[in-house]
Amino acid sequence: MPQPKKLKVLVLAGGPDRERPVSLQSGATVTNALAQAGHDVRQRDITPDNLAALDEFTQWAGHLVFPMLHGAWGEGGGLQKILAERKLPHVGCRADAAELCMDKHRTKLVLIEHGLPTPPSELLIAGQRATFGPPVVVKPPCEGSSIDLTICRDDESLRRTRSRLRRRHARLLVERFVEGMELTVGLVGSEDGKTMDALPPIHIIPATEFYDYNAKYDRDDTQYLFDIKLPKAALAEVMRVSVEAARVLGCRHMCRVDIIVDREKRPWILEVNTIPGFTSHSLLPKAAARAGITLPKLVDRLARLALA
| 41 beta partners | 9
45 is catalytic: no
Q: Report how far Cα 184 is from the mean position of its chain's Cα atoms.
A: 10
CA-to-CA distance for 305 and 250, rounded, in angstroms?
15
Catalytic residue among 17, 148, 271, 300: 271
Instruction: Considering the candidates 23, 121, 145, 282, report the single residue annotated as catalytic.
Output: 145
How far apart, in Å, are the Cα atoms of 79 and each of 46, 193, 198?
9, 23, 26
- Reply yes or no on whether 273 is catalytic: yes
> Is 159 assigned a catalytic role?
no
Active-site residue flag, 44: no
What is the Cα–Cα distance from 220 to 281, expressed in whole angstroms? 8
The residue annotated as part of the active site, out of 23, 258, 282, 301, is 258
Contact indicator for 238, 212 with CB cutoff of 8 Å: no
Catalytic residue check, 19: yes
Is residue 113 annotated as a catalytic residue, yes or no?
Answer: no
Q: Exactly one of 273, 282, 300, 301 is catalytic; name it.
A: 273
Please pick, among 19, 212, 237, 300, the residue that the annotation labels catalytic.
19
Which residue in 27, 103, 277, 282 is the catalytic one?
277
Catalytic residue among 20, 252, 256, 301: 256
Of the listed 78, 121, 217, 301, which one is catalytic?
217
| 197: nearest Cα among 278, 89, 301, 90 | 301
Distance of alpha carbon 38 from alpha carbon 4, whole angstroms: 11
**129 three-class SS:** coil
94 is catalytic: no
Catalytic annotation on 145? yes
Closest CA to 185 of 204, 172, 196, 201: 201
- Residues annotated catalytic, as ranges: 19, 145, 217, 256, 258, 271, 273, 277
